[in-house]
Amino acid sequence: MEQKEVLLDVQNVSVTFGSGKNKFEAVHHVSFQVHRGETFGIVGESGSGKTTIGRSIMRIYPTSSGEILYKGQKINGKISKELDHQVTREIQMIFQDPMASLNERAKVSYIVSEGLMNVEKLTQEEYDKRVDAALQEVGLLPEFASRFPHEFSGGQRQRIGIARSLIMQPELVIADEPISALDVSIRAQVLNLLDKLQKERGLTYIFIAHDLSVMRFITDRIAVIHKGKIVELAETEELFHHPLHPYTRALLSAIPVPNPIAERGKELIVYDPSMHHYEKDQPEWCKVSDDHYILANQEELAAYRKELESH
C-alpha cells in the first residue's frame, strides 16, 4: 500500500475556553492526520467543535494540550518568528460567512492583498498585479479590485475570500463551511471552483461542514465529531457504506432522500449518548480496520469488528 505524505498531524489536542467554574473544553483529545493533496472532511452538528479545531490549526485559538505538527514542525504554542511567517503563508482559511469576513470599509484590492503585505515587501504595482491574477483565478474581473464588498453578491464575496487565501500561495486551506451561507444555486459553483483550484495548484483541504451529503462528493476521508470528540474516521465511501458509531448513523439518517416515497418511509435515527456503558470500560480511539477508526470501549470494538466482517 502506497505511503501517503502527512502534511498535518494533530496529536491529542484539546482546546479550553474560560477558567474556574466557567471553564469549558470545546475540543477533547482530538487526533487525526491530513495527507498532502487530499480533502479531509470534519463533520458534526453546530457547537460540536469543528470550527474550533480549524481555528486552532490557524493559531487563532490556543490549544490547552496536545501538539499540532505541520510538515513535522510543532506549530501550536510559542514558535519562532520564521515558522510563524511560514505558517501564516502556507495555511489559509476560507471563512463561513462572506458577509461578515470581509472588511466593509476596505476596497477589494486591500482585502485580497492585506495578508501578503504582512509577509512580503513588494511595490504597489506588484501587489496590484498579484490581486488581479488572484481575482481572475476565482472568476472575477480585475476591475472589481477598486470596489467595496457591499457591491457584490454572496457568491462573489466568497470568491473574494478565496482569492484572499490564494494570493498567499498556500499549501493547506481550511474551508470552514464555505457554502452554508450561500444560495443553493451558487453552492455548486463554489465547490467546482475549489475542486478546480485543488487540481491546478495541488492544494490540500480541510473541509468543515455539517452536511454529510455535500461531504460525500468532495472529501477523501471524513472525521465525525460530537461534543468536541472525534467518534469515527474513515474513507468517505467506507463511512457511507459501513457507518459504525451510532452518532454517525444518526447523521446519515438525517440526509434527505430525493425520492418523496422513500423519504416518507425512511427511519430517522436519534442518537442517545446514554446508550453507551462506559462506567467500567472507558472508550479509546481504536482502529477497527484499515483506515477506519472509532471511539469505543473493548465490548463495542468487538461488536463493530464482527459487524464489519459480516459485510
Report helix, strand or coil for 84: helix
The three cell numbers locating residue 145: 479590485
d(CA 147, CA 150): 9
Backbone angles phi, psi at 105, to 5 degrees: -90, -5
| Residue ranges per structural domain of the chain | 6-275
Is residue 123 packed enough to be buried (19+ CB in 10 Å), middle (13-18) or exposed (0-12)? exposed
Q: In angstroms, what CA-CA distances link 163 with 9, 76, 115, 237, 302? A: 26, 26, 11, 31, 48
Per-position pLDDT tens, the chain of length 311: 457 899 999 999 999 998 888 899 999 999 999 999 999 999 999 899 999 999 999 999 999 999 999 999 999 999 999 999 999 999 999 987 777 778 889 999 999 999 888 888 888 999 999 999 999 999 999 999 999 999 998 889 999 999 999 999 999 999 998 888 778 888 888 899 999 999 999 999 999 998 888 898 899 999 999 999 999 999 999 999 999 999 999 999 988 777 777 767 778 889 999 999 898 899 999 999 989 999 999 999 999 999 988 87
Cβ–Cβ < 8 Å for 60, 141: no
Give the pLDDT confidence score for residue 258 in this predicted structure: 74
Cβ–Cβ < 8 Å for 176, 208: yes
Give the pLDDT confidence score for residue 1 in this predicted structure: 46
AA letter at 305: R
CATH code of the domain occupying 6-275: 3.40.50.300
Give the pLDDT confidence score for residue 2 in this predicted structure: 59
Cβ–Cβ < 8 Å for 126, 184: no
